[in-house]
Amino acid sequence: MGTLDSGKIRTLKKIKGNRWCIMLLCVCCAVFCCAAAAPVLAPYNPTAVDLDSVKQPPSSRHLFGTDTLGRDMLSRVMYAGRVSLCIGLIATVLSLCIGLAAGLVAGYCGGVVDAILTMCIDLFLSFPSLLLAIAVSVVLPPGIAATVCALCIAGWAPFARLFRGMALSIKEHTYIDAARAVGCSPHRIILVHLLPQCLPLIMVAGSLKIGSFILAEAALSFLGIGVQPPTPAWGSMISLYRGFLPAAPWMVIFPGLAIAGTVMVFNMLGDVLRDAVDPRLRV
């Protein structure tokens, strides 16, 4: 455990010493806070119709302009962010859990278990991800739960492959042999000895994945098979206002900027974390 703790502390120190990393973490927190505190922060009610100020361009009264029914775009983008971020976060946590379980078990157990699990992983990797997500969300009744489910089914396999590789390499260390020699059960070895070693990788892979899940969710909602219209989401907002692009581009530009900005922050955080945790992992 000694080496493990010092490893963790080293990682934390590296993250603390990196000004970029701290800044990006703060921005991430700010994005989450903005979404979580939308009812407090939003200047207007996102569903309040104001027919006197329809399709107003951005101004000091309405920073992001108003939509076809006079609803404030800033408030709508903030409320939509809650849904989109929530889906991204839940899908990431769930697919990380599935990927960790499958990957670590496959890597540690080896043999038939590994062969079967690897086959499953390869199978899910052989579908283009959005294609699979589309197929799943067609079958399930549409909604937030179905979207999360579709994203998880399409997104767990890369995690599993990553952690299988990790388990394969950690397994060779002598302290795992020692643990086995003193009679640790396989599930104890996986939970206590393998899992903590994967933590840095989990952080990196997770923060990179949130971004791609938010993008995928936006794509599904844009196509009309993700989050359904009464619930606001960035993707479905863009699809809703698409027809007004020539006359009122701000209605399309701001939700898109919100997606791109959020995803970019998560991607940059992932990159910085990766450099801090292990420069060898750099793509």
Partner 1 sequence: MNSVRGTNAEPEEFNPYKSFISIGCFLKSMNLYYVQRITMVIPTLVGITMVTFILLKMLPGDPVQSLAGERTDPAAMEVIARELGDTGSVIDQYLGYVKLLMQGELGRSYYTNTKVSDELLEKLPNTLCLAGAALLVSVVVGLLFGVLMAAYRGSFIDRCCLIVVTGGISIPVFWLGLLLVYIFCFWLKLLPPAGMEKGNLAYYILPASTLGLNAAAALARITRASMIDILSQPYILTARAKGISRLAIVLHHAFRNALLPVVTIIGLDFGSFLNGSFLTETIFGWDGMGRYAIEAIFRRDYPVVLGCVLTGAILFVGVNLMVDLIYRLCDPKIRYAHTP
Q: Which residues bind partner 1 (CB under 8 A)?
A: 119-120, 122-123, 126-132, 134-136, 138-139, 141, 211, 215, 218-219, 222-225, 235, 238-239, 242, 245-246, 249, 252-253, 256, 259-261, 263-264, 267-268, 271, 282-283
Residue closer to partner 1 by CB (options 34, 121) is: 121
Residue closer to partner 1 by CB (options 86, 281) is: 281
Residue closer to partner 1 by CB (options 107, 226) is: 226
Q: Hey, is 135 helix, strand or coil?
A: helix
CB of residue 87 to partner 1, shortest distance in Å: 14
Q: Hey, is 140 helix, strand or coil?
A: coil
CB of residue 184 to partner 1, shortest distance in Å: 34
CB of residue 130 to partner 1, shortest distance in Å: 4
In contact, 269 and 260? CB cutoff 8 Å: no
The two three-digit tokens of residue 182, written as one number: 């003193």
Measured distance CA(24)–CA(151) in Å, rounded: 25
CB of residue 179 to partner 1, shortest distance in Å: 34
* Distant-in-sequence, close-in-space partners of 231: CB < 8 Å, separation ≥ 6: 83, 144
Report CA 256 to chain centroid distance, whole Å.
Answer: 17
In angstroms, how far apart are the furthest CA atoms of the chain?
77
In contact, 57 and 51? CB cutoff 8 Å: no
Measured distance CA(2)–CA(8) in Å, rounded: 10
Residue closer to partner 1 by CB (options 43, 128) is: 128
The two three-digit tokens of residue 142, written as one number: 């549409």
CB of residue 158 to partner 1, shortest distance in Å: 11
Burial of 255 (0-12, 13-18, 19+ CB in 10 A): buried
CB of residue 210 to partner 1, shortest distance in Å: 11
Residue closer to partner 1 by CB (options 7, 58) is: 58
Question: Angle between the 73-109 and 111-125 helix axes, to the nearest 10 degrees?
Answer: 150
Residue closer to partner 1 by CB (options 66, 129) is: 129
